[in-house]
Structure 1
Amino acid sequence: MIDRRNFLILSGAAMVLPAAAKAEAETGALDPQMVFHDPDAPALGNPQGDVTLVEFFDYQCPFCKKNHPVLEEVMAEDRGLRVVMKDWPVFGPVSLRAARLVLGAQENGAYATALEALMATKGRLSDAQVDKTLNAAGVSVPKAQAGYQSARQKIDAVLARNDRQASGLGLFGTPGFVAGRMIYPGALDKAALTEAIRVARHPQG
């Protein structure tokens, strides 16, 4: 099992083969390739970026939501940054439903809109608030639900992988970030986030 002290990965590594997901599930081992290049995990920013930042988050986590505009600002300024969003619904059933709906919206090309809408909310959520927020943003909840149902096996599998990876990395809550060889539990302000990306881009100093 890879932990915080021996988590190693090379920048710019090739995309992982789908078989790696099955191997990770069967062995329980944490595959760094799947952390950074899970083909079913949504990615923002530059798809060909030279640095990948991974965030484990929950739509009900106040620190995740407060940190999200900072992440967006850094992403807008750093055109070489790729950001992988890992839903880790640790706040219960509402979080799990929200994650499934947003990933279902991805099947209809509405992932970014759904993500931004829920990340702009305040505090804890109810199912009704999730639906109202998505609908107000122009994301059809019935279509998102249908998208989830059509890809249920894939979406539930990526959520399960996210959970295993977060635990394997030693994270105890959201948000949690991974960049290069380093794991950063908790929210990061702009300076800390920029420094984490710099270290990942230039690991030798």
Structure 2
Amino acid sequence: MTRRTMVFLAGFVAVAIFILGSIFYTKPAPDFAQGIGPGGDSVLVRPHSPILGPETANVTVTEFFDPMCETCREFFPLVEEIIGDHQGKVRVVLRYATFHPGSEDAVRILEAARRQNKFESVLFVLLEKQSEWAAHGEPNIARAWELAGEAGLDLPKAKTDALSPEVDRVIQQDLADAKSAGVSKTPTFFVNGKPLLSFGKQQLYDMVLAEVGQ
């Protein structure tokens, strides 16, 4: 075997090893656990983030959601079930991912509702009657405001609060954090900082159950 042939074979083997390594190497899933506890500040949890359930719970489910997202609405009963089934142990941190046209306006309604301690009641009615205001491509934000008023929101005050610089910052921060966390669709879930790798209702419930049991 000539020296030239040996060099060629060595190079071929090295390339083959590199290709096989690329195929079989699995990039580890991102883990954003740092800062997700009560009072934490991280890509997944900010001090301004709305929280459903007890703030001091040991298990944190972070959901990047869009009020106009139909799948978010479909998952919401499960989110409530998870909180109810594990009393005191699970909290859900909501982060805004305003990916649909008009969803930023809906987030402004929710943030204005928070300032009147009406967040949950307004969130529930917007999701329950989503079909009345969140038609794809043609959102009816006026109807969303009407529904919020029916849920007890002081509309004149809320419409002023909705345009505040504080709400602007919340929307911008949540979008930046969604990008940092690799979120490209809604809903996207993280449980104690770990992403839900296989999307589905049962998968989410099982992942929460595993964290509660630790």
What is residue 81 of structure 2 aligned with on the other side? 73
Instruction: Identify if the C-alpha distance between structure 1 residues 4 and 14 changes in structure 2 by more than 3 Å, giving closer, same or farther.
Output: farther
Ranges in structure 1 where 5+ consecutive residues have no aligned partner: 17-32
Tell me which structure has the larger Cα radius of gyration: 2
Alignment partner of 1:200 is 2:214: no
Report the more deviating stretch, 176-185 or 54-63: 176-185
Cα gap change, 1:122 to 1:148, in 2 (>3 Å): closer
Distance 1:14 1:72, change over 3 A: closer
The structure 1 residue matched to 2:123, chosen from 115, 118, 135, is: 115
Tell me the CA shift for residue 175 of structure 1.
0.6
1:91 aligns with one of 100, 112, 124:
100
In 2, the alpha carbon distance for the partners of 1:175 and 1:163 equals 14
Superimposed CA distance per residue, residues 108-159 of structure 1 (whole angstroms, 9 cap, x where no aligned partner): 111111111111123423112212211222223322223334xx22222121
**What is the alpha-carbon distance in structure 1 between the residues aligned to residue 45 and residue 183 of structure 2?**
19
Mapped to 2, the partners of 1:117 and 1:14 lie a distance apart of: 28
Distance 2:196 2:204 in 1: 9
Deviation readout 1:143-185 (Å, 9 max, x if unpaired): 2223334xx2222212112111212222211111111242137
Residue 41 of structure 1: how far off its partner (Å) = 0.9
Residue of structure 1 in register with 2:57 after alignment = 49
- Indicate how the Cα distance of structure 1 residues 84 and 12 shifts in structure 2: closer, same or farther if over 3 A, else same: closer
Cα distance in structure 2, aligned partners of 1:186 and 1:113: 31
Q: In 1, Cα distance between the equivalents of 2:210 and 2:172? A: 29
Candidates 33, 54, 72, aligned match of 1:9: 33
Cα distance between partner residues in 2 of 1:136 and 1:187: 34
Alignment of 1:55-204 (within 5 A): 55-79=63-87, 80-92=89-101, 94-123=102-131, 124=135, 125-149=139-163, 152-184=164-196, 188-189=200-201, 191-201=202-212
Percent of pairs identical after alignment?
A: 22
Would the alpha carbon gap of residues 6 and 87 (structure 1) be closer, same or farther in structure 2, given more than 3 Å must change? Answer: closer
**In 1, are the aligned partners of 2:36 and 2:193 still within 8 Å (CA)?**
no
Q: Kindly indicate whether the alpha-carbon contact (under 8 Å) linking 2:67 and 2:127 is maintained by their aligned counterparts in 1.
A: yes
Aligned residue identity for 2:149? N
Distance of aligned partners of 1:38 and 1:90 in 2 relative to their CA distance in 1, 3 Å threshold: same
Write the distance in 2 (CA, Å) between the matches of 1:4 and 1:133. 44
CA change 1:60–1:49 in 2 (3 A) is same
Superposition TM-score, scaled by structure 1 size: 0.78
Task: Quote how far apart the aligned CAs of 1:106 are.
Answer: 0.5
Aligned CA distance change for structure 1 residues 165 and 146 (closer, same or farther; 3 Å): same
| Aligned length in residues | 181
TM-score by length of 2: 0.75
1:21 is matched with: none
Coordinate RMSD, CA, aligned: 2.4
Instruction: Give the secondary-structure state (helix, strand or coil) at the position aligned to 2:157.
Output: helix
CA pair 114-51 structure 1, distance change in 2 beyond 3 A? same
Q: Which amino acid aligns with 1:177?
A: F
